[in-house]
Amino acid sequence: MFAEQLASGSLGKTPLLKVIESYSRYYAAGQSHTARAKRLDLKRFIDFLARYRAVKRVQTLKINDWDFSAVQKFVDELLSEGEAPATVARRLATIKHMGRALAEKVPGFTNPAREVKAPKLQALCPKSLDPSEIEEIRAAASNRAKKRGSFNALRNQTLLELLLDTGIRAEEARLLKTSQLDDQLEWIKSVKTKGRRYRNVYITSSMRPRLKEYLMLRERALNKRFPRLTLHQKSALPLFPSFYRAEIGKADSFLMGAKTIWRAVNEFSAGTPLHPHLLRHSFAVDLLNSSKDIRLVSQALGHSDVRVTMRYTEREEHEIAVALERSRENSTKRRSKRR
């Protein structure tokens, strides 16, 4: 549709809202945190643009109204209102991605947001859990599962362990199916990433016995609640099902909600409030510290660009100080030995 309008010279007159809706359907559908954030970013932008262009209804905005100056003004206004630079950078990234997606589909279209600079952010290593905190969380999950003895409690415990073991995103875990597990429970095949690509995810040997036990209990729970399920229907169900409002023949009705995933992890909080992405950060930091290989970490996380992974190499000032002191001590010891 856009290609035809470009050929006739009328692309600029296309309603901008139509472009946003099309982008949202393809890149921001569903209830994941990322999808909701993208939709909120675009709503914030189009509401601003209506004020900036002095129009009463966002429906009257055209693609021509979306230009460099408008995007730059949007960024400046957000910062002047006191919005966090990281949030502003995220909103700009959403707008840039929409422009890039349209430019890829429409020859000759130039991304209006391409040259807009994001606010500079202080590079910090994402917060992660230390080994003692992880042990506390695992103990809390184990105690809860034993105390309740329910399928949901065991499901949530296994979900926690899989997130810690593999570093997959909450949305990736939510959509996993048992058919993606290989026979040895070594690999999860074709995990769909944020960038709409696919990767295989390794399951460590320490996780496999837990996963095997969970799969047996999951099978019993399914047979008890839904005895009429066929093998074919079971293969289409999520690895971590929810039985709330589940209906035979509707595989998606067995999916845990995005908020349910968050609550399932958060209920194991000890000192530090837990959320799924904190477990992913902890996986990444631990893998980097043990492997010293940033490219390996990038691939394990499913990042499309290693520059995204580089944030895990950032160090705080006290870490730099400790490293320098240790370096000086080692240097002094070497000089003493030579004497």
Tokens coding 36: 């909701």
Start and end residues for every CATH 1.10.443.10 domain found in the chain: 131-313
Q: 130: alpha, beta or left, given left = phi > 0 and alpha = psi -120 to 50? A: beta
In this structure, are residues 111 and 96 in contact, taking their beta carbons and an 8 Å threshold?
A: yes
Alpha carbons 329 and 92: distance in angstroms, whole number: 46
Q: What is the pLDDT of residue 270?
A: 77
Residue 112 is encoded by which pair of tokens? Answer: 């209006």
3-state secondary structure 84-151: CHHHHHHHHHHHHHHHHHHHHHCCCCCCCCCCCCCCCCCCCCCCCCCHHHHHHHHHHHHHHHHHHCCH
Structural tokens at position 81:
């209102």
Q: What is the mean pLDDT of residues 216-221?
A: 95
Q: Output the pLDDT for position 320.
A: 79
Q: Which residues, listed in sequence order, are joined to residue 255 by a DSSP beta bridge?
A: 241
Please compute the mean of the pLDDT values over residues 50-58 and round it to a whole number: 94
Q: What is the pLDDT of residue 123?
A: 64
Q: For the chain, give the percent of residues with pLDDT over 70.
A: 95
Compute how many other C-beta atoms are within 10 angstroms of the C-beta atom of residue 265. 23
Predicted local distance difference test score (pLDDT) of residue 86:
87
Q: What whole-number distance in Å separates Cα of residue 261 and Cα of residue 245?
A: 16
Q: What residue type is 14 in one-letter code?
A: T
Q: Quick one: 131-313 is in which CATH superfamily?
A: Intergrase catalytic core (1.10.443.10)
pLDDT value at 8 more than 60: no
Question: Stretch 239-257: mean pLDDT, rounded?
Answer: 94
Residue 3: pLDDT over 70: no
The number of CA neighbours under 13 Å toward the Cβ of 158 is 23
pLDDT tens for each residue of 63-96: 999 999 999 999 999 999 999 888 999 999 999 9
Annotate 170-236 with DSSP letters as a single string. Answer: HHHHHH-BGGGB-TTS-EEEEEE-TTS-EEEEE--TTTHHHHHHHHHHHHHHHHHH-TT--HHHHHT
Q: How does residue 316 score in pLDDT terms, banded at 50, 70 and 90?
A: confident
